[in-house]
Every structure is written in C-alpha cells, then in structure tokens.
C-alpha cells in the first residue's frame, strides 16, 4: 500500500491537525537530490512534519533562490527526472502525511496536464504547487487536477490585490501558500514584516489553512510565523543542509527544533 490518500486529503489532514491547535510544518526536499533521497521523507515525518513538499527539479527555476537552484542543478546532474522521482515516491510506504509536489508549468505541459496529474496520483501525491501559474490561467489545471484527486495549491504574495487575493483564497485547494515577501526563496535573517499583514488579509477571505513560506529558516522565525499563519513551509534551510552533506538523521534533528518552536507558540 503506497502513500495514496483520498481526494481532499491534504486539506482534511491539515485542517484536522490545525483544529487541535497544532502549528503546521511542511518541509521541502528536491526529489532525486541524493541516492536514497526518500529517506529524507521518512525523517521529516518522524520529526513531526504535517505535510511534505517534494520539488520536481526544473532547469530554469525562476522563483527559487540560489540554494534551491543549486539543489535542482544537483538533482538534474544525477539524472533526476519527473518520471524517476515519481517512481521513487510510489515505493514510499506508510509515511502517514500527505505529499505535495511542486514544479513549474513547463513540466506540467511537457506530458500534458491530464497525464501529469494522473502520474502524480499514481505515485501517491495528493497536492500540487505550480508557482509560475497565475490564478487567471489556472482553470484547466484546476479542473484536471481535481479530476485526478490532486489538490492544486495557489500562491498569494504581499503585492496581490484584494480581488485577486479573494479569488486565490477561494480557488486554492489543500491550503493557501502565503509568500512572505516579494522575491525568491532563500534563508533570511528575519521574517519579513509583510508576513503578518498578508496572512491577515488571506484569513479574511477563507478558513482554509494558510502556510507561510519564503525565508523561514530558524525556530524563532517559525515561532513568529505561527502567530500569524497556521503553519510554515521550510525549503532553503533544509536544502542548504542537504547540499552541505546532512543526512536524514541530521534533518530530523533540525526539523524537530522547528516542531518544538511551533508547539510552543
């Protein structure tokens, strides 16, 4: 039995955990980054992750900073591909938390939205993030993903105008991904001041879980983010450690510090 969850599993899972007062934690890993890379998924789950984002590497990741770009380049140089990553995911058993794939729209179009979403579902992936797909162009993929029982997560940024923010909040599935600042992914010294205002604006439009990402790197930042949002997405801080040679046990220890910080909020 693979990690295939029922339709709507991401949102139901996150809502259930949020409604107990738990701060949500979604770490990120670039698929294919190392041999045996799926061991990181098990470590993330053991550390208390509530969902896991798996990046499908793309050669021109325009919204990603240096660390994620380097991780994508490393994975691609190892021969990683969407097909191979999904085959690896299909072998992951009893993970206990939903998997959310993230990639750029060119990879979705490569095989076509129907085939792409069907392949995600067969691999046990329940959610999809496509950061370069604006909401006004998302109709086709939204419908196709829903038919494949994959929840399409939409992103909102500090510059998103109110009418579009309301549309994103209404149409996003699984959760709303709040981008804490204008710019690319990456570690930062402090949580962006725009994070609190953005999450408050989203909350006025939806009761769907709101996860805050871009620049969350430390337990203190996770704790602060938990005061505004339902949880956090942590990518570059994880991948920098992987690129520096950290193994699954090291990442489990790091994420456990974030888990404790969220639990203390």
Residue 107's Cβ-count burial label (10 Å; 0-12, 13-18, 19+) is middle
Catalytic-role residue among 19, 39, 50, 53: 53
Half-sphere exposure of 243 (CA within 13 A, CB side): 17
Catalytic-role residue among 11, 64, 88, 224: 64
Q: Is 53 a catalytic residue?
A: yes
Is residue 251 within 8 A of residue 241, CB to CB? The reply is: yes
Q: Is 250 a catalytic residue?
A: no
Q: What are the φ and ψ backbone dihedral angles of 108, each rounded to 5 degrees?
A: -65, -45
**So which residues are the catalytic ones?**
53, 64
């Amino acid at each position: 039995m693979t990690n295939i969850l029922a339709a709507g599993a991401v949102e139901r899972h996150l809502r259930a955990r949020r409604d107990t007062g738990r701060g949500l934690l979604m770490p990120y890993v670039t698929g294919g980054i190392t041999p045996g890379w799926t061991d990181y998924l098990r470590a993330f789950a053991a550390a208390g992750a509530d969902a896991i984002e798996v990046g499908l590497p793309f050669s021109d990741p325009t919204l990603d900073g240096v660390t994620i770009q380097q991780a994508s380049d490393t994975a691609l140089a190892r021969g990683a591909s969407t097909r191979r990553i999904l085959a690896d995911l299909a072998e992951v058993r009893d993970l206990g938390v939903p998997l959310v794939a993230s990639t750029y729209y060119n990879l979705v179009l490569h095989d076509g939205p129907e085939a792409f979403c069907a392949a995600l579902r067969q691999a046990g992936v329940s959610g999809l993030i496509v950061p370069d797909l604006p909401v006004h162009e998302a109709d086709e993929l939204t419908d196709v993903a829903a038919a494949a029982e994959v929840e399409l997560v939409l992103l909102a940024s500090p510059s998103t105008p109110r009418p579009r923010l309301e549309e994103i909040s209404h149409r996003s599935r699984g959760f709303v991904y709040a981008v804490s600042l204008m710019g690319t992914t990456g570690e930062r010294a402090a949580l962006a001041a725009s994070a609190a205002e953005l999450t408050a604006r989203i909350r006025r439009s939806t009761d769907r879980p709101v996860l805050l990402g871009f620049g969350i790197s430390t337990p203190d930042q996770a704790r602060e983010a938990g005061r505004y949002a339902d949880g956090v997405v942590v990518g570059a801080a994880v991948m920098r450690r992987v690129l520096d040679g950290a193994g699954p046990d090291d990442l489990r220890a790091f994420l456990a510090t974030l888990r404790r910080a969220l639990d203390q909020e």
